[in-house]
Amino acid sequence: MKIKVCGMRDVENVSSLLALKPDFVGFIFYHKSKRFVTEFPQIKFPSETKKVGVFVNETIEKVIATVEKYKLDFVQLHGNETPNYCNEILNSHLERSRKIVSESHKLKIIKAFSVDENFDFSITKKFQKFCEYFLFDTKGTNYGGNGIKFNWEILQNYKGKVPFLLSGGISKDDAEDIKKIIHPAFKGVDINSGFEIEPALKNIKNIKEFKHNLI
């Protein structure tokens, strides 16, 4: 099961996290977030850990510039972005690359959706050809980081083939319940506020315990 740790910022904290070899590390480039990255940690990432930039209704130019500056592997779109916006992101990145890049090095998209009891999973269909993953997060007052769960049983209403990550209020005590989720497209979890000492500073010990318990 894949693990994405989002809302990172502190250099030493990121370095300690990388020792656990998470699949993804997320950095938030949304200025209204408490976890907004003011200074990107200059650390060499192992090849197995992908850098994810999280954006909310940002201009395409700003997203691409940030991707290039920090050599991001993924962009996570956590706002009201459209399928056309996703397509433009991918096309703009290819054009700026100025060369044919291998499939393994193409920019990839994670599209986040805010989920509650009334969420219509069919709206994800329009995004499927542009996205590597979907992320199902709890609908709340903020764009992510609300620290609350939605009813995971409604994940069975998702009939798409794009793999998804589960997010929203996950803590180290949820490992056993997460392992009970049976869905062919369920590929991992996105964790954030449930593992924080303070905004953007993670409890590495708890993450290590959680990762161990997911196995």
Instruction: Delimit the domains of the chain by residue range.
Output: 2-214
For 93-107, 116-130, 154-168, 179-193, which range has the lowest pLDDT when averaged over its residues? 93-107
Type of residue numbered 162? V
For the residues 187-215, what does the mean pLDDT come to?
A: 97
Q: Is the pLDDT of residue 100 over 60?
A: no
pTM: 0.94
pLDDT for res 145: 58
Q: Which residues pair with 202 in a beta bridge?
A: 196
Judged by average pLDDT, the poorest of 36-40, 137-141, 172-176, 187-191 is 137-141
Q: What is the pLDDT of residue 101?
A: 56
Q: Structure tokens of 37? A: 């990255």
Q: Which CATH superfamily is domain 2-214 in?
A: Aldolase class I (3.20.20.70)
Strands 201-202 and 196-198: antiparallel
* Angle at which helices 83-97 and 60-70 cross, to 10°: 50
Mean of pLDDT values over 84-98: 91
Confidence category of residue 95, pLDDT binned at 50, 70, 90: confident
Query: What residue spans of the chain are helical by DSSP H?
Result: 11-18, 60-70, 83-97, 175-179, 204-214
In this prediction, residues 160-174 reach a mean pLDDT of 97
Of 105 and 166, more confident? 166
Q: In the chain, what percentage of residues exceed pLDDT 90? A: 89
The pLDDT of residue 140 is 74
- Quote the tokens at residue 96: 């700026």
d(CA 45, CA 55): 21
